[in-house]
Structure 1
Amino acid sequence: MAMATEVQVFGTRSCNETKKALRFFKERRIKTHFVDLKERPASAGELKRFGQKFGWEALLDRDGKHFRGRGLHVAHVSEARIPTLLEDDPMLLVTPLVRSGNVLAIGWNEAQWRDFVKQAG
């Protein structure tokens, strides 16, 4: 499957994994479009694309400080509730979310990103 020559990276400037993703693509001269989730949340449609591929649970950062800070670690967060939570509060997402055309990856996933580069090449 051919991929677009541009990669979209959703994350925050303060996230180390997002910084690594941006550096990874920059070093390989892949054009990136960075979406800072603190400035502009991912659209419901964008989130749905990742949720359908990986399952909503995979997108929720249960280990993150923000999840704990909101007291969600003591609440039962059902899979059905996750899409709304993530739309309302993008800081609960596992980052980075990386998309190139229809090819998707979540979190630190260098093996998947290398496939992106190969397909672009």
Structure 2
Amino acid sequence: MNLQIFGTKKCKETKKTQLFFQERRIPFQFINLAEKEMSKGELRSILGSVKLDDLIDTESKVYEEKNLKYMLYDKEEALLNNPLLIKTPVVRDGKRATIGYQPDVWKTWISEAKK
């Protein structure tokens, strides 16, 4: 497994996700979206598994501040330019990805990796 967890240090769901993998001694790379944005390649890889609209955090401060509810905008560009607009955590393992705390899905990934 080659896990990446995208999130922020303040996000409770991200902390739970990190703990889930730490308890199982599964190494991961944590990318703090408050410090570093997602690359276009990472975003495209994630979009192979999840819908673009599901990735946008419509309850975030950035969404409200930019008044995106009432605007037409390029969603992919908005996510690349405003990483705090991404719903967290995003867990990526190669071409697979999840949004939010999804332990049942990750357990499947882990069992597949052990085969």
- Asked if these proteins are the same fold (TM beyond 0.5), I'd say yes
Residues 4-63 of structure 1: CA distance to partner in whole angstroms, max 9, x if unpaired?
A: 2x3110111011111111000000110011011111111011111122322211111112
- Give the distance between the partners of 2:107 and 2:72, measured in 1 at CA: 33
Query: Is 1:76 the counterpart of 2:71 in the alignment?
Result: yes
Q: In the alignment, does 2:91 pair up with 1:95?
A: no
CA distance in structure 1 between the partners assigned to 2:108 and 2:62 by the alignment: 31
> What secondary structure does 1:104 align onto?
strand
Distance 1:77 1:63 in 2: 17
**What are the ranges of 5 or more consecutive residues in structure 2 without an aligned counterpart?**
none
**Structure-2 change in CA distance of 1:82 and 1:114 (3 Å):** same
Residue 54 in 1 paired to residue 54 in 2? no
Q: How big is the shift at 1:85?
A: 0.2
**Which of the numbers 71, 90, 97 marks the counterpart of 1:104?**
97
Query: How far 1:68 moved relative to its partner?
Result: 1.7
Match of 1:16 in 2: 12
TM-score by length of 1: 0.85
Contact 2:48 2:95 in 1 (8 A): no
List gaps (5 residues or longer) in structure 1. Answer: none
Amino acid across the alignment from 1:52: G
**Alpha-carbon separation, structure 2, partners of 1:101 and 1:88:** 23
Once the two structures are TM-superposed, the CA of residue 92 in structure 1 deviates from its matched residue by 0.3
**SS of residue matched to 1:98:** strand
Q: Deviations over 1:58-117 (max 9, x none)?
A: 1111122331233223x1345xx1100000000000111111122211112111111122
- TM-score computed with the length of structure 2 as normaliser: 0.89
How large is the RMSD of aligned CA atoms in angstroms?
1.5
Aligned length: 114
